[in-house]
């Protein structure tokens, strides 16, 4: 029995997604933690019991395909790719063999067999000291939940029936949970684990749900139906607030939304500092909804279009025509604005299932971004062809991710110019490099002959400078994108860039209290998540 506290108290965690919300706690427990039937079977019943497992595997595979389709259609998010790779795990012959052997040796029901075998697989993955491989353990847990649901007939995912206005309290949310979230039903999210750069965190920020993490023992601290106030930006939760606290919070919430609406109205105009400096505020996007939201919020253009979703949500890489059509669909609402499309930044936490077998080390410190594209230049040709065609209708700029050496940009430039000539393109399309590695930041002047612009990606620049993985919540205190070391690298980039324009597109650009410093270094173009644009523009006007 939990020790129920009725008086008001507050809990501190870390911010995952900003915003204020109030609502009732909805405790979301894992289906795997609930009790399931446990019985022995006769040897003659083995076949029938294994047939149940096979049927569950089939049902889950079908369900994964449906989830991927739904995500692809509604969000076109990288999450769709995760479901495809989960389905691949279920086809592993080793897994089937182990399920069969466990059943034959132990003669217990299918639910117990699935739980045991998947638990073993999870532990195996967790023991591997590689962040990427150990992430597979989460996929395994996710799959076993789905299989248990299929076996026990619990088909309705509880988050689908979420009472509206709920604040979800969970140990951890996985991609299969977040599919069911919408801003209408979920007012906020509080979890025990999962860092701000995890997949679930990205999704909550994308759909604009306030969220906080790193709340130890969250399921013991909070009870079903508790009234909660969440401040996502502060990573603060107030449980069972007094009437007076509620009133104060409510008026903060109201004035916050009124301020946002006011800023949104003014957001159409440019962001001009008091000394007359104009700062371009662009949007980081990855799907059509992001582009629509950016335009609604007065974005001056698209500063970073992450195209990975288009690749991750497919079974095979797109052709140049398919890529052209997909990008055109996504950026259509920004037709009259500049659009910077970043070349495929695969690797790290974004893996292409169809390239799994090629054995390339594409970890965060491996062949990511341009390293990967230079290894598979066909991917580069397809993208350049598609983007050159797109430039007939759109104001396209091309950005190259994860650059380390100047000679990488030299090769990219040569390939690009060759395709420009082959396609007989007469338009000037700007080609830029992302500054995301300390090596590139410190040797900016070497790149000058090959680039038309630079864009500083502080998310990766931070993980490589501070030696702290962006997905790893245990080193969250080291992942400081406003550390003086990062500002020294930004400053050095600015000083050595000469006449080449420099913009900033990492999350640092959306930290309002850092804007003054960013602008004083000389940055005149930033790119942020769509929902931040109105407030950022307004903040710039008072600098």
Q: Quote the least distance from Cβ 82 to ligand PEP, whole Å.
A: 16
**In 3-state terms, what secondary structure has residue 186?**
strand
- Which span (32-40, 69-77, 312-320, 451-459) binds ligand PEP, by CB under 6 A? 451-459
By CB under 6 A, the count of residues binding ligand PEP is 10
Site of tokens 């389905």: 87
Nearer to Mg ion, 379 or 402 (CB): 402
Q: DSSP assignment, residue 216?
A: T
Q: Which residues pair with 190 in a beta bridge?
A: 169, 212
Site of tokens 């999450």: 79
Q: Quote the least distance from Cβ 425 to ligand PEP, whole Å.
A: 27
Residue 459: closest CA among 473, 470, 444 = 470
* List 138, 436, 471, 535, residue binding ligand PEP (CB under 6 A): 436
Residue 362 lies near Mg ion (rule: CB under 5 A): no
Q: Quote the least distance from Cβ 183 to ligand PEP, whole Å.
A: 23
Nearer to Mg ion, 300 or 460 (CB): 460
By CB under 5 A, the count of residues binding Mg ion is 3
* List 122, 280, 460, 471, residue binding ligand PEP (CB under 6 A): 460
Residue 505 lies near ligand PEP (rule: CB under 6 A): yes
Q: Quote the least distance from Cβ 154 to ligand PEP, whole Å.
A: 37
Taking CB under 6 A as the criterion, which residues in 336-355 touch ligand PEP?
A: 345
Cα 224–Cα 226–Cα 228 angle in degrees, nearest 5? 130
Nearer to ligand PEP, 165 or 501 (CB): 501
Q: Quote the least distance from Cβ 472 to Mg ion, whole Å.
A: 16
Residue 457 lies near ligand PEP (rule: CB under 6 A): yes
Nearer to ligand PEP, 125 or 479 (CB): 479
Residue 328: closest CA among 392, 378, 384 = 392
Cα Rg of the chain, angstroms = 25
**Quick one: three-class SS letters along 370-408?**
HHHHHHCHHHHHHHHHHHHHHCCCCEEEEEECCCCCHHH
Residue 482 lies near ligand PEP (rule: CB under 6 A): no
What residues contact 99, with CB distance under 8 A and at least 6 apart? 50, 53, 113, 114, 117
Q: How far apart are CA 111 and CA 55, in angstroms?
A: 13
Query: Would you give the end-to-end CA distance of the chain in angstroms?
Result: 54
Residue 211: closest CA among 19, 470, 415 = 19
User: Is the separation of the CB atoms in 182 and 164 below 8 Å?
Assistant: no
Q: How far apart are CA 413 and CA 432, in angstroms?
A: 10
Q: Is the dihedral of CA 355, 356, 357, 363 positive or negative?
A: positive
- Which span (94-102, 124-132, 207-215, 455-463) binds ligand PEP, by CB under 6 A? 455-463
Q: In what order do the strands lie in the sheet with 211-213?
A: 9-12, 236-239, 227-231, 20-28, 166-170, 186-191, 211-213, 14-17
Taking CB under 6 A as the criterion, which residues in 197-236 touch ligand PEP?
A: none
Residue 289: closest CA among 73, 459, 78, 505 = 73
Taking CB under 6 A as the criterion, which residues in 107-146 touch ligand PEP?
A: none
- Tokens representing 241? 């607030």
With CB under 5 to 8 Å by kind, the binding choice for 231 among ligand PEP, Mg ion, none is: none
Q: Quote the least distance from Cβ 509 to ligand PEP, whole Å.
A: 9
Nearer to ligand PEP, 28 or 293 (CB): 293
- Tokens representing 399? 């950005």
Nearer to ligand PEP, 152 or 459 (CB): 459
Residue 457 lies near Mg ion (rule: CB under 5 A): yes
Q: Quote the least distance from Cβ 263 to ligand PEP, whole Å.
A: 23
- Which span (65-73, 133-141, 294-302, 430-438) binds Mg ion, by CB under 5 A? 430-438
Q: Quote the least distance from Cβ 310 to ligand PEP, whole Å.
A: 14
Residue 352: closest CA among 85, 98, 125 = 85
* List 136, 199, 306, 537, residue binding ligand PEP (CB under 6 A): 306
Residue in the shown chain whose Cβ atom is closest to ligand PEP: 457
Residue 506 lies near ligand PEP (rule: CB under 6 A): yes
With CB under 5 to 8 Å by kind, the binding choice for 317 among ligand PEP, Mg ion, none is: none
With CB under 5 to 8 Å by kind, the binding choice for 506 among ligand PEP, Mg ion, none is: ligand PEP
Residue 459 lies near ligand PEP (rule: CB under 6 A): yes
* List 177, 460, 481, 507, residue binding Mg ion (CB under 5 A): 460
Q: Quote the least distance from Cβ 400 to ligand PEP, whole Å.
A: 12
- Which span (96-104, 248-256, 359-367, 450-458) binds Mg ion, by CB under 5 A? 450-458
Q: How far apart are CA 67 and CA 83, in angstroms?
A: 7
Distances (CA, A) of 308 to 162, 284, 313, 341: 31, 13, 9, 11
Within 13 Å and on the Cβ side, how many CA atoms surround 9? 8
Q: Quote the least distance from Cβ 402 to ligand PEP, whole Å.
A: 8
Q: Quote the least distance from Cβ 457 to ligand PEP, whole Å.
A: 3
Task: Note the residues at the interface with ligand PEP (CB under 6 A).
Answer: 304, 306, 345, 436, 457-460, 505-506
Task: Note the residues at the interface with Mg ion (CB under 5 A).
Answer: 436, 457, 460
């Amino acid at each position: 029995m939990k020790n129920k506290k009725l008086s008001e108290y507050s809990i501190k965690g870390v911010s995952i997604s900003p915003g204020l919300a109030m609502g009732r706690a909805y405790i979301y427990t894992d289906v795997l933690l609930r009790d399931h039937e446990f019985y022995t079977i006769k040897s003659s019943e083995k076949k029938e019991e294994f047939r149940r497992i096979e049927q569950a595997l089939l049902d889950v595979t079908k369900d994964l395909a449906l989830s991927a389709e739904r995500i692809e259609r509604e969000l076109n998010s990288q999450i769709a790719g995760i479901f495809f790779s989960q389905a691949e795990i279920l086809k592993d012959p080793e897994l089937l063999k182990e399920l069969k052997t466990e059943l034959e040796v132990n003669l217990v029901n299918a639910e117990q067999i699935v739980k045991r075998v998947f638990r073993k697989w999870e532990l195996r993955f967790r023991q591997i000291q590689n962040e990427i491989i150990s992430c597979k353990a989460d996929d395994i847990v996710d799959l076993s939940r789905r299989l248990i649901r299929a076996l026990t007939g619990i088909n309705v995912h509880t988050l689908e029936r979420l009472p509206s206005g709920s604040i979800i309290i969970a140990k951890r949310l996985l991609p299969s949970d977040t599919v069911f979230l919408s801003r209408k039903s979920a007012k906020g999210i509080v979890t025990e684990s999962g860092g701000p750069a995890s997949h679930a965190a990205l999704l909550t920020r994308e759909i604009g749900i306030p969220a906080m993490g790193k709340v130890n023992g969250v399921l013991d601290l909070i009870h079903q139906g508790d009234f909660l106030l969440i401040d996502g930006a502060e990573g603060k939760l107030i449980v069972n607030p007094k009437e007076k606290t509620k009133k104060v919070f409510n008026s903060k919430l109201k004035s916050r939304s009124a301020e946002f609406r006011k800023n949104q109205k003014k957001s159409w105009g440019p962001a001009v500092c008091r000394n007359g400096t104009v700062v371009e505020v662009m949007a980081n996007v990855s799907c059509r909804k992001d582009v629509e939201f950016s335009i609604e919020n007065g974005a001056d253009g698209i500063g970073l279009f992450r195209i990975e979703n288009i690749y991750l949500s497919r079974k095979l890489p797109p052709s140049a025509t398919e890529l052209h059509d997909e990008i055109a669909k996504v950026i259509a609402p920004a037709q009259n604005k500049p659009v910077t499309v970043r070349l495929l930044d695969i690797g790290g936490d974004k893996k292409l299932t169809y390239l799994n077998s090629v054995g390339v080390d594409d970890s965060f410190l491996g062949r990511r971004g341009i390293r990967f594209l230079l290894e598979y230049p066909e991917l580069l040709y397809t993208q350049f062809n598609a983007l050159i065609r797109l430039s007939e209708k759109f104001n396209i700029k091309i950005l190259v991710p994860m650059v380390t050496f100047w000679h990488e940009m030299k090769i990219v430039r040569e390939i690009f110019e060759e395709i420009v000539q082959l396609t007989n393109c007469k338009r000037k399309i700007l080609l830029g490099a992302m500054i995301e590695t300390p090596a590139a930041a410190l040797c900016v002047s070497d790149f000058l002959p090959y680039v038309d612009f630079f864009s500083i990606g502080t998310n990766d620049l931070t993980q490589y400078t501070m030696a702290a993985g962006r997905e790893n919540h245990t080193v969250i205190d080291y992942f400081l994108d406003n550390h003086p070391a990062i500002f020294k690298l930004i400053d050095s980039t600015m000083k050595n860039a000469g006449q080449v324009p420099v913009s900033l597109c990492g999350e640092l650009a959306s930290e309002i209290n850092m804007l003054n410093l960013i602008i004083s270094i000389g940055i005149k173009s930033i790119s942020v998540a769509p929902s931040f644009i109105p407030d950022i523009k307004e903040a710039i006007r008072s600098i």
